Chains A and B, each alone.
Chain A
Amino acid sequence: AQTVTQSQPEMSVQEAETVTLSCTYDTSESDYYLFWYKQPPSRQMILVIRQEAYKQQNATENRFSVNFQKAAKSFSLKISDSQLGDAAMYFCALGDGANSKLTFGKGITLSVRP
């Protein structure tokens, strides 16, 4: 069975500062994908970033980047130059190459202080 663990339920960051959200996972699959999704108060799930397990290079999308440590099964999200609009719940998710099922972590609530 696949598992995704987000051990920090809440985090807070000052506007313009950098914050890192942690995620660990477990899977027996060799072909898998990792995602970070953002869920603002509107409840719309928005894709933040995606990482293919076979790629060694860490994914980057503007102010968002990941630190993918395959051997440690760790997948953290770094948000640089935090903005008020980044305040939301962030979910780490794992998908394997065999099917379309996503396994989600419990999520972390990020607040941004002005």
Chain B
Amino acid sequence: KAGVTQTPRYLIKTRGQQVTLSCSPISGHRSVSWYQQTPGQGLQFLFEYFSETQRNKGNFPGRFSGRQFSNSRSEMNVSTLELGDSALYLCASSLVRDWETQYFGPGTRLLVL
């Protein structure tokens, strides 16, 4: 089975722009979670989607949003980018919401200038 894929792998944006990141889960996995990884804050949970519904959300401003499609693929969007949004964004998928192991993609490295 193919693993979790994320596109793009690297991205450079400037402050004020918006960005969309994509995640394709492992085939058959229905839950997709997003995490932000930075040197200062470590790994922080953004949100989780299951059956096209956001079921859990972390403590991030409303500029961070996401969605899930009927084929379980997910996108996250960050609007009005700030320098502090520079991070590795990791997507993880699992079979169902409760409780299966989460398998991670390679991440998208976002640099905001």
Contact = CB atoms under 8 A, between A and B. Distances in A.
B92 to A, nearest CB: 8
Looking at A43, A46, A99, A100, the one whose CB has the most chain B CB atoms below 10 A away is A100
Q: What class of interface size applies to chain B in its complex with A?
A: 20 to 34
B104 A45 contact: yes
B48 A101 contact: yes
Nearest to A47: B101
Interface in A24-73: 33, 35, 37, 42-47, 50
Nearest to A31: B99
Nearest to B50: A100
B56 interface: yes
Interface in B71-113: 88, 90, 92, 94, 97-99, 101-107, 109
Interface of A: 33, 35, 37, 42-47, 50, 91, 95, 97-107
